[in-house]
Amino acid sequence: MEIKTDGYPFSERTPIHSKNEDPMRKNLLDQLPLAPEPIAHAHAQELAGISRVLDELPEAARLVHEDLSWRGGRRVQVGKGREGMAAEQVLRAGVLRQLAGFSYEQLSFALADSTTYRRFCRIGYEQDPPKKSTLQKNIKQVQAATWERISQKVVRRANELGVEKGTKMRTDCMVVESNIHHPTDSSLLWDCVRVFSRLMKRAKKKFGLAFQSHRLRAKRRALEINNANTSEERKPLYRDLVGVCEQTLLQAQTMAEKLDRLPCENVMDAMLAGALAGEMRHFVPLANQVMAQTERRIFRGESVPATEKIVSIFEPHTDIIIKDNRDTEYGHKVCLTTGASAIVTDVVVERGNPADYTLATKMVERQKAIFGKAPKQTSFDGGFATRSNLAQIKALGVDDVVFHKRRGIEVEQMASSERVYKKLRAFRAGIEGTISFLKRVFGLERCVWRGFDSFRAYVHAGVLACNLLVVARHVLAAAK
């Protein structure tokens, strides 16, 4: 049974059933390339184990192939263009990138330099390694829903191998940060001015459209605000900075209109003019929101709700997350479930900052859909504890439902005995190690991809790489 993706729309496309329907984009390689034997090293053995798992899931490459067959919302014409990377090569390169924490530049070098990595990604002696731009273009084309579906297939394969039985689950939440600087009103206003100035400077250089730059003045005001000692000293500086931002915004809107009417000598110039105008208009509502929240916070003294704030004009999807009166984090809450094997059986990227107790029942329902049956035992952090959650989860067929903090709920209501309660509380603590593992090794401390869809893809790709490594390690340990 295929469960629904993590709550976000996925465009249904006609599946590709044949092995290589598009001769310009292979799904699986017709013949494995010539490659050296794997070296006797633990990391090489783990990569070989991951490779065997992927070989047992050929449908994973088909899912990737389907994403690669679409561009700009349209299917790529069959037989047109050069032969690109095979779908299984893209899948393996994406997994390797998350597994090793490479940038695209580092990944390109690794595939050129390392025979072990070339073997893993199915790049033979006679093939030139892909460039960083090729790797980025192909890997970023794989949708978040595809990474998630492949991860679900790995979980089911782990269940078939006996690595993960699905009888016990533990759920907790973590925050994955967006790739933004610490937001302040002055820094956001300065971001708006410098972005509009950069775009207008490009338009002036290419098309000769004049504008007056206030970039230096805005930068000085932002620095003065940071160095001011009191709020009264900051107010006139903020007033001037907001005025500079308004003037720059008006200039950008005027220049966008001029670019629309600009007579161009060739198609390339017309495309550039349209792109510059479109990018300026993209930042206009974001700049207006930044100025509006500055007006409310600084000049009116209002407390702006987190749902109405913007903390980055580059990553406007970023949520403000505050947990237990600790430091404020900027990114997205991620709710994940693991089993006894430490495999991440499910992960959902949330919007906003939903309370933990609103997620408990949903995660058990998803777990039931993945394995076809409800787990026998579940364990949650104290923030998930409510009597209604306890009743709803037990109604799904779960025998023992343990919350780390009882919140007024008796042990006898949650577990069959005090001993079981204590064991499941200790079991829940193990998810903290998995969260640390995901952040330290697979890059889930901070997402470096832009946009919310790419944010979700980054998280699911990291979880997939983690699951493949855990499954490979279990299989290798069982073979010894």
Same domain, 304 and 329: no
- What number is the average pLDDT over the span 370-394? 94
Task: Show the domain range for 211.
Answer: 185-308
At 322, is the pLDDT very low, low, confident or very high (cuts 50, 70, 90)? confident
Paired tokens of 48: 């070989």
193 or 38: whose pLDDT is higher?
193
Give the model's pLDDT for residue 264: 87
Same domain, 301 and 324: no
Give the model's pLDDT for residue 31: 56
162 or 20: whose pLDDT is higher?
162
Buried b (16+ CB within 10 A) or exposed e, 204-232: eeebebebebbbebbeebbebbeebeeee
Whether 1 shows a pLDDT value over 80: the answer reads no
What letter would DSSP give residue 307? G
Same domain, 203 and 291: yes
- What number is the average pLDDT over the span 158-184? 95
Question: Is the Cβ–Cβ distance between 175 and 310 less than 8 Å?
Answer: no
Same domain, 136 and 169: no
User: How many other C-beta atoms can be found within 10 angstroms of the C-beta atom of residue 201?
Assistant: 13
Whether 19 shows a pLDDT value over 50: the answer reads no
Same domain, 106 and 225: no
Give the model's pLDDT for residue 125: 79
Domain boundary among 253, 283, 308: 308
Whether 268 shows a pLDDT value over 70: the answer reads yes
Whether 38 shows a pLDDT value over 80: the answer reads no
Q: What's the domain count of the chain? A: 3
Distance CA 333, CA 329 (A): 10
At 436, is the pLDDT very low, low, confident or very high (cuts 50, 70, 90)? very high
Instruction: Report the CATH number that the domain containing residue 445 is assigned in CATH.
Output: 3.30.420
User: How many other C-beta atoms can be found within 10 angstroms of the C-beta atom of residue 159?
Assistant: 19
* 122-138 residue pLDDT tens: 988 778 889 999 999 99
Residue 250: inside a domain:
yes
Same domain, 292 and 346: no
Same domain, 171 and 216: no
Residue 467: inside a domain:
no
Give the model's pLDDT for residue 18: 39
**Which residues are paired to 446 by β-bridges?**
177
Residue 156: inside a domain:
no
Whether 21 shows a pLDDT value over 60: the answer reads no
Residue 24: inside a domain:
yes
Residue 52: inside a domain:
yes
Same domain, 98 and 41: yes
At 173, is the pLDDT very low, low, confident or very high (cuts 50, 70, 90)? very high
Give the model's pLDDT for residue 64: 95
Give the model's pLDDT for residue 479: 85
69 or 190: whose pLDDT is higher?
190
- What number is the average pLDDT over the span 268-291? 96
Paired tokens of 480: 């010894």
At 206, is the pLDDT very low, low, confident or very high (cuts 50, 70, 90)? very high
Please enumerate in sequence order all residues whose Cβ is within 8 A of that of 39, keeping only pairs 6 or more positions apart, or say none: 116
User: How many other C-beta atoms can be found within 10 angstroms of the C-beta atom of residue 461?
Assistant: 28
Give the model's pLDDT for residue 59: 94
Whether 50 shows a pLDDT value over 90: the answer reads yes
Distance CA 187, CA 312 (A): 9
Specify the range with the lowest mean pLDDT, choosing from 35-39, 233-237, 330-334: 35-39
Residue 313: inside a domain:
no
Same domain, 213 and 275: yes
Give the model's pLDDT for residue 14: 38
* 8-17 residue pLDDT tens: 544 444 343 3
Same domain, 350 and 294: no
Please compute, for residue 157, the number of CA atoms within 13 A of its CA located in the half-sphere on the CB side. 24
Whether 211 shows a pLDDT value over 90: the answer reads yes
Residue 437: inside a domain:
yes
Same domain, 286 and 212: yes
Give the model's pLDDT for residue 128: 87
Secondary structure string (H, E, C) spanning 36-76: CCCCCCHHHHHHHHHHHHHHCCHHHHHHHHHHHCEECCEEC
The share of the chain scoring above pLDDT 90, in percent, equals 82
Whether 285 shows a pLDDT value over 60: the answer reads yes
Whether 77 shows a pLDDT value over 80: the answer reads no
Question: Is the Cβ–Cβ distance between 293 and 309 less than 8 Å?
Answer: yes
User: How many other C-beta atoms can be found within 10 angstroms of the C-beta atom of residue 373?
Assistant: 13
Question: Is the Cβ–Cβ distance between 358 and 386 less than 8 Å?
Answer: no
* 399-433 residue pLDDT tens: 999 999 888 899 999 999 999 999 999 999 999 99
Residue 279: inside a domain:
yes
Give the model's pLDDT for residue 480: 77
- What number is the average pLDDT over the span 18-28? 51
At 83, is the pLDDT very low, low, confident or very high (cuts 50, 70, 90)? low
Same domain, 196 and 260: yes
